[in-house]
Structure 1
Amino acid sequence: MPRSWLADLRARFGGGREEAGLGILAFEAAAAMSRLVSLDRAMSDVEVRRLRADALRAEGVARATSTDQPLLLRLACGELVADLDRAAATAARLGARCCHRAAPSSFLHDFDRVYAEAKRGNGLARLDAAVGFYRGAAKRFRKMERHVAATARLYAEMDTLGELEASERRMVQWMRHSGPIPAQQPAPASAKRQQQAAEPSEKLMRELRSQRQKVRRLMESSLWSAAAHKVSKLLAKSVLAVLARISIAFGANVPGLPVLTVGRAWAIRRTSGPLQPAASPAAAIRHSAPIFRQKDTAFSASDSIKPPASTVGGSGMELRYANVIVSAEKVLRELWPAIHSDEMDAGMDLSKRDELYKMLPVTIREAVKARLRESWKGQAVDEAAAAASMDAVDRTLRWLAPMAHDTVRWHDERSMERAQRFSMRPRVLMVQTLHFADRHKAEDAIVEVLIGLSCVCWYDDERRRPADWDEDD
């Protein structure tokens, strides 16, 4: 959506007055609500069990990142709290905009301080209240779901309106450049063009009127027209509810989170309880990839999810490595039927092999070349060697490819596309991706995959070469 068009929306549709509602800030509020709903769903019984039993115990996580469950829980919790921090910041900004007459309570005007105190464990009575009335919390989250859906529709219809108005401007400009038609001796070609232009112009104007009416109706039924103090209050209470749920689930293993003594009814109905038994604070962190160290400080989301330079994420290569792995998986899928087929015509598209090669970073490309010269110099690749290489590649990709796919999905889910901006589904966590993976281990695995694929490709080329020679003769 063009910025100039967005800047003009408030004046055109009456969003400039405070009493008219949030106006253009409705999209920021909807994005915060979608994030809160996503976090609430991520803390459901099903998602918590999946995180504990599957995601954090996946083979790829154990091989490339760590086997230390408290550490992995800390990383997962850090990302969840970081997402919650962003939603809390939006609630604080909206609360600060509320007039004191509409929202006399300091709860909204000073929500940034209230939230910071709650994270430090102060004001536990407020957090207990946020989760104690679980039925009210569930009702608030359902209300936010409706708000997000309505505002997402408004955003889409505004996009459509912007496109129609751009078409109208182009039409007007074309009409001006075409010039008037002389009244005495009309030019047949010009008259025909004017007549042809008039029909789509009238159709365009009808579409514009209809689209503007649709946008106005959606503005009235979405967050655009909602009172700022009501929206900020809804966000603030929901932020505290999510913080409380995260504290109940992770508090036993993440030092620094507030410790709550909520009623058993809420804990039984709304969570699966602590993820792990409480660990001794003096317990040493043991894991397969020595890239993190436990800190004896208060929990900080930003510090806990900042990857060291020794990780793939610390080098900024996680998405590129993920794309290489996904492409290697596609090459393997095409090579598999080719190698196991007796027909010489069966094979893969060689352009995909070239694309994979061009994707490789220089370091990995040089490592593959060196290993190939060392391993296969002067050796013939027969069917048995190709089959063994293919099996080895398949075994590696079974644990490496899921991390690559999760990495791609993680980046897609945090893009600014409309479909992702207002998505309310639970998101992939960085701990499931290549972000925290040890860089040397990830690179070694990628090199092994590429060497195995090279062996299979050599055999595929060799087995079809005699047929090519016969055709040349």
Structure 2
Amino acid sequence: MGWLPGIGYITGGGGHSFCTESKNKSCHLGILAFEAAKIMSRLVSLYRSLSNEEIFKLREEILKSQGVVFLNSRDEKFLLSLACKEMLEDLDRAAATVSRLGKKCSDFGLNRFDLAYVNLKLGIVDYRKLKYGSRLNEKRLRKMQRLISATSRLHAALEALTELEQLTQQKTRQGKNKKIHLMKSNFDPFTAKLMNQRKMVHHFRGISLWCKTFDKSVGLMARIVCVVYVRICAIFGQYVPNLTSFSFQNMGCFKNQTDMPMIEPVKEQFTSHSGPITMSSKATLVRFHSQKTNLFFNEKDDRVLSIETFLKKSLFHSAGPLTLGGSGLALRYANVILLAEKYLDPTESIDHIDRESLYQMLPENLKVLVRTKLSKNMKCAEDDFLLAIGWREAMTEMLGWLAPVARDTVKWQMERSFEKMKFHSKPSVLLLQTLHFSDKEKTEAAIAELLVGLSCVYRHENRQIYV
């Protein structure tokens, strides 16, 4: 297999490779360019999120942030397991799409990428070609980013062209219905604009994924899929499902890096009678040993199962009933928190419609909690200046750690929205940074305090209406 030497389809009677490269040319992606661009951008995002800087940020900033610690968990191992599972799920989804696109490739190796990915998860991989951060992989990523950018521009240009063509049809119908005979010169500026837009679309088609072959596009993505998987195993080690033994000493990924992997490796057990075993300078294969051999194979007929088997249980649906994600309230509460942050601004005011809208966003139990706190704790008279200042300071401090989690919740939803065509390749928000796994009782208590404080501040400042 030209794009990944060393990974082949191994049979029981002796290994043979399915790496034969067809001489036939594969067709162009065409309309599938947009789907390929989305997968490419997700792979680039995953790759970038596994850099030393991003892993340091995850370990030292995100996991220790006040909102995550107070609302989600203090258990670093639990949070790391969430990060690992989410990254693997994203990678598996990307691999499933790459495998489906690979069915249209002329290269037989790319055509059976599903088997190659299974072999990778079983642990047969030539690590020499899968080194994270190598010049060759960085070059591939830059090429992918250029293709993603061009495809994004093509998508925008096609939308603009569609609008112009619809406008042309409307003007034509209006001219016919009113029986107005317009001179041809009157259409020249509009016609020139339409022609320029068509030329722009033609240009972007030529430099984007639209005119790239399946072999070239899938080849780029398949390589990065494998590199990202090995990198995840190297960093998260013990948190990778069904991975019980992983030899970091044999990995070339970290050889020239000054820092060590974030997670302590689960080391191979060797018995030595004469001293420590030294590593050979000769490159060897790395084996990921799995406890469950039936993860990718059906025990009855030993046939390889689809990559879709990796996607059985989603992390998103694993949140318990006492969390906001399990209750289906994460996004709603995030919007409530962000509205409270917005209305705390002295220049903002809440009219009756805004107040009612904010109140109706609360479930019944939280409405009762807010009313109870208002009746017991609202002692802010109109002339009590110091108490109002105290409430504002308390709200500002609380929003300092609560608002970032709310913003990340909204951002996570937007990044994974299937309704919009997005081509972002920056490291994305992880689910552990959001309100999804937040304790429902703690979050509701914090929101109730925010709304009570907002009411006090509004009363003192004589704004239009209070909550």
Counterpart in 1 of 2:394? 392
1:276 corresponds in structure 2 to: 263
Partner of 2:301: none
Q: 2:342 aligns with which of 330, 340, 343?
A: 330
Is 1:406 the counterpart of 2:413? The answer is no
Task: Indicate which of 367, 370, 378 corresponds to 1:368.
Answer: 370
Instruction: Measure the CA separation in 2 of the matches of 1:417 and 1:140.
Output: 28
Displacement of 1:247 in angstroms is 1.1
1:203 aligns with 2:189: yes
Q: Per the alignment, do residues 233 and 226 of structure 1 end up closer, same or farther by CA in structure 2, a change over 3 Å counting?
A: same
CA distance in 1, matches of 2:133, 2:462: 68
Q: CA deviation at 1:452?
A: 2.1
Return closer, same or farther for 1:133/1:71 CA change in 2, 3 Å cut-off.
Answer: closer
Corresponding residue of 1:8: none
What's 1:14 paired with?
Answer: none
2:234 aligned with 1:248? yes
* Equivalent AA in structure 2 for residue 154 of structure 1: L
Structure 2: runs of 5+ lacking an equivalent: 1-24, 268-290, 296-308
- Tell me the equivalent position of 1:287: none
Kept in 2, the 8 Å contact 1:127–1:240? The answer is no
1:310 to 310, 313, 322: 322
Q: Tell me what 1:320 maps to.
A: 332
Describe the SS at the equivalent of 1:251.
helix
**Cα distance change of structure 1 residues 211 and 170 upon mapping to structure 2, 3 Å threshold:** same
User: Post-superposition, which runs of at least 4 consecutive aligned residues in structure 1 deviate over 6 A?
Assistant: 296-301, 377-381
Deviates more, 1:168-177 or 1:228-237: 168-177
Q: Does the aligned pair in 2 maintain the 1:322–1:408 contact within 8 Å?
A: yes
After superposition, the C-alpha distances for 1:309-354 in whole angstroms (9 at most, x for unaligned) are 22111222111111110111122232xxxxxxxxxxxx75232655
Q: Is residue 74 of structure 1 aligned with residue 81 of structure 2?
A: yes
271 and 432 in structure 1: CA distance in 2 versus 1, 3 angstrom threshold: farther
Q: 2:215 aligns with which of 222, 229, 232?
A: 229
User: Structure 2 CA distance, aligned partners of 1:178 and 1:348?
Assistant: 49
Measure, in 2, the Cα distance between the counterparts of 1:30 and 1:309.
36
User: 1:103 maps to which residue?
Assistant: 107
Post-superposition shift, 1:447? Answer: 0.9
Match of 1:382 among 381, 384, 398: 384
| 8 Å CA contact 1:147, 1:222 repeated in 2 | yes
Unpaired runs of at least 5, structure 1? 1-17, 180-189, 281-295, 335-346, 465-473
Which residue number in structure 2 is paired with residue 266 of structure 1? 253
- Contact 1:26–1:224 (CA under 8 A) maintained in structure 2: yes
Give 1:103 shift: 0.7
Shift of 1:148: 0.7
Kept in 2, the 8 Å contact 1:128–1:262? The answer is no
Deviation track 1:241-291 (CA, whole Å, cap 9, x = no partner) reads 1111111111144443483547565315569542233589xxxxxxxxxxx
Distance 2:258 2:102 in 1: 29
CA distance in 2, matches of 1:458, 1:174: 56
Q: Counterparts of 1:233 and 1:383 in 2: how far apart (Å)?
A: 67
Kindly indicate whether residue 130 of structure 2 is the aligned counterpart of residue 143 of structure 1: no
Q: CA RMSD in A?
A: 3.1
| Alpha-carbon distance in 1 for matches of 2:250, 2:140 | 20
The corresponding residue for 1:39 is 46
Q: Which amino acid aligns with 1:412?
A: M
- Paired position in structure 2 for 1:421: 422
User: In 1, distance between residues paired with 2:310 and 2:438?
Assistant: 21
The CA deviation at 1:173 is 1.6
Normalising by structure 1, we get a TM-score of 0.76
Instruction: Kindly indicate whether the alpha-carbon contact (under 8 Å) linking 1:33 and 1:148 is maintained by their aligned counterparts in 2.
Output: yes
Q: Find the structure with the greater CA-based Rg.
A: 1
* 1:350 to 1:155, Cα distance in 2 relative to 1, 3 A: closer
CA distance in 1: counterparts of 2:373 and 2:335, whole angstroms: 22
The AA in structure 1 aligned to 2:337 is I
Per the TM alignment, residue 86 of structure 1 is displaced from its structure 2 partner at its CA by 1.9
Identity score, percent: 38
In 1: Cα distance, 2:397 partner to 2:132 partner: 48
Cα deviation 1:158-191 (Å, max 9, x = unaligned): 1111111111211222222223xxxxxxxxxx56
Match for 1:93: what amino acid? Answer: R
User: Structure 2 CA distance, aligned partners of 1:233 and 1:109?
Assistant: 10
SS in structure 2 of the partner of residue 266 of structure 1: coil
Change (3 A) 1:269 1:410: farther
Structure 2 distance, partners of 1:103, 1:309, is 48
Determine helix, strand or coil for the equivalent of 1:275: coil
Matched residues in 1 for 2:96 and 2:31: separation? Answer: 17
Structure 2 CA distance for aligned equivalents of residues 20 and 209 of structure 1: 28
Equivalent position SS for 2:427: coil
Residue 99 of structure 2 is aligned to residue 92 of structure 1: yes
User: Partner of 1:185 in structure 2?
Assistant: none
Whether contact under 8 Å (2:85, 2:240) holds in the other structure is no
User: Residue type matched to 1:95 in 2?
Assistant: G
Residue 359 of structure 1: how far off its partner (Å): 3.6
1:313/1:437 contact within 8 Å kept? yes
CA distance in structure 2 between the partners assigned to 1:250 and 1:228 by the alignment: 32
Q: Residue in 2 aligned with 1:434?
A: 435
Separation in structure 1 between the aligned mates of residue 217 and residue 408 of structure 2, nearest angstrom: 33
* Structure 1 counterpart of 2:29: 22
Q: Is the 8 A contact 1:247 1:260 kept in 2?
A: no
The letter for the 2-side match of 1:103 is D
Tell me: CA distance 1:53–1:109, structure 2 relative to 1, closer, same or farther (3 Å). Answer: same
Aligned amino acid, residue 166 of structure 1: Q
Query: Please, which moves more after superposition, 395-404 or 131-140?
Result: 131-140
Letter matched to residue 274 of structure 1: P
Alpha carbons of structure 1 residues 270 and 167: separation in structure 2 relative to 1, 3 Å = farther
- Give the 3 Å change call, closer, same or farther, for CA 460–209 of structure 1 in structure 2: closer
- For these two proteins, the number of residue pairs brought into alignment is 398
Q: Kindly provide the amino acid, as one letter, of the partner of residue 389 in structure 2.
A: A
> In structure 1, how many angstroms separate the alpha carbons of the residues matched to 2:415 and 2:455?
33
Find the aligned partners of 1:384 and 1:41 in 2 and give their Cα distance: 48
Give the deviation of 1:147 after TM superposition.
1.1
Distance across 2 between alignment mates of 1:214 and 1:423: 22
Partner SS state of residue 97, structure 1: coil
Structure 2 CA distance, aligned partners of 1:437 and 1:150? 39
